Amino acid sequence: MAEEIKAGCARPTGGPVGEPVQEKTENKENIIKEVSQMIKVGQKAPDFTAPAYFKGKFVNIKLSDYLGKWVVLCFYPGDFTFV
Protein backbone atom coordinates (compact mmCIF):
# COMPACT_ATOMS: atom_id res chain seq x y z
CA MET A 1 0.00 0.00 0.00
CA ALA A 2 2.60 2.52 1.08
CA GLU A 3 5.56 2.94 -1.24
CA GLU A 4 8.97 2.96 0.43
CA ILE A 5 11.11 6.05 -0.04
CA LYS A 6 14.89 6.25 -0.20
CA ALA A 7 16.60 8.02 2.67
CA GLY A 8 18.54 10.77 0.93
CA CYS A 9 19.89 14.10 2.06
CA ALA A 10 16.81 16.07 1.06
CA ARG A 11 13.91 16.21 3.48
CA PRO A 12 11.00 14.36 1.93
CA THR A 13 7.78 16.34 1.97
CA GLY A 14 4.17 15.72 1.13
CA GLY A 15 1.10 17.89 0.77
CA PRO A 16 -2.56 17.97 -0.07
CA VAL A 17 -3.64 16.00 -3.14
CA GLY A 18 -6.74 16.01 -5.31
CA GLU A 19 -8.22 19.37 -4.46
CA PRO A 20 -6.86 22.11 -6.75
CA VAL A 21 -4.56 24.48 -4.92
CA GLN A 22 -6.22 27.87 -4.82
CA GLU A 23 -4.10 30.61 -6.36
CA LYS A 24 -3.50 33.52 -4.05
CA THR A 25 -5.42 36.48 -5.38
CA GLU A 26 -4.87 40.18 -4.94
CA ASN A 27 -8.28 40.45 -3.37
CA LYS A 28 -7.80 40.49 0.40
CA GLU A 29 -11.34 39.37 1.14
CA ASN A 30 -10.80 36.17 -0.80
CA ILE A 31 -7.62 35.39 1.08
CA ILE A 32 -9.30 35.84 4.45
CA LYS A 33 -12.14 33.60 3.35
CA GLU A 34 -9.77 30.81 2.40
CA VAL A 35 -7.81 30.98 5.64
CA SER A 36 -10.92 30.89 7.80
CA GLN A 37 -12.20 27.70 6.17
CA MET A 38 -12.20 24.95 8.76
CA ILE A 39 -12.77 21.25 8.47
CA LYS A 40 -16.46 20.41 8.82
CA VAL A 41 -17.87 17.24 10.31
CA GLY A 42 -19.88 15.20 7.83
CA GLN A 43 -17.67 16.28 4.95
CA LYS A 44 -14.76 14.57 3.21
CA ALA A 45 -11.40 14.75 4.91
CA PRO A 46 -8.94 16.54 2.58
CA ASP A 47 -6.68 13.95 0.95
CA PHE A 48 -2.91 14.29 1.32
CA THR A 49 0.36 12.44 1.00
CA ALA A 50 3.07 12.64 3.61
CA PRO A 51 6.37 10.90 4.26
CA ALA A 52 6.36 8.74 7.36
CA TYR A 53 8.49 6.56 9.58
CA PHE A 54 6.72 3.23 9.96
CA LYS A 55 8.14 0.04 11.45
CA GLY A 56 11.76 0.77 10.62
CA LYS A 57 11.15 2.13 7.12
CA PHE A 58 10.59 5.50 5.50
CA VAL A 59 7.38 5.33 3.44
CA ASN A 60 4.94 7.63 1.69
CA ILE A 61 1.46 7.57 3.18
CA LYS A 62 -1.66 8.66 1.29
CA LEU A 63 -4.82 9.20 3.31
CA SER A 64 -7.12 7.88 0.56
CA ASP A 65 -5.27 4.53 0.66
CA TYR A 66 -7.06 4.02 3.98
CA LEU A 67 -10.59 4.22 2.54
CA GLY A 68 -12.56 1.31 4.02
CA LYS A 69 -10.89 1.71 7.40
CA TRP A 70 -11.44 3.96 10.38
CA VAL A 71 -8.61 6.48 10.67
CA VAL A 72 -7.52 8.61 13.60
CA LEU A 73 -5.36 11.46 12.34
CA CYS A 74 -3.44 13.12 15.17
CA PHE A 75 -1.37 16.28 15.00
CA TYR A 76 1.02 17.29 17.79
CA PRO A 77 3.49 20.14 18.35
CA GLY A 78 6.74 18.23 18.10
CA ASP A 79 8.84 15.15 18.72
CA PHE A 80 10.48 14.94 22.15
CA THR A 81 7.88 17.26 23.65
CA PHE A 82 6.50 16.36 27.04
CA VAL A 83 2.72 16.10 26.77
Partner 1 sequence: MSIDSVFVHKMWNDHELSKMVKGGIPFPMLSDSGGKVGTVYGIYDENAGVETRGRFIIDPDGVVQGFEVLTPPVGRNVGETLRQIQAFQLVRNSKGAEATPSGWKPGKKTLKPGPDLVGNVWKEWKTDMAFD
Interface ranges with partner 1 (CB under 8 A): 2, 7, 11-16, 37-48, 50-55, 58-59, 61, 63-64, 66-81, 83
Instruction: Pick the closest to residue 62 from 73, 51, 78, 53 (CA basis).
Output: 51
Residue 30: CB minimum distance to partner 1, A: 16
Whole-angstrom distance, CA of residue 62 vs CA of residue 51: 9
CA distance 25 to 32: 11
**What is the smallest separation between the CB atom of 18 and partner 1, expressed in angstroms?**
10
> Of all helices (H) and strands (E), which one includes residue 29?
helix 28-35
**Complex with partner 1: residue 4 or 25, whichever CB lies closer:** 4
Min. distance of Cβ 37 from partner 1 in angstroms?
A: 7
* CB nearer to partner 1: pick between 27 and 43: 43
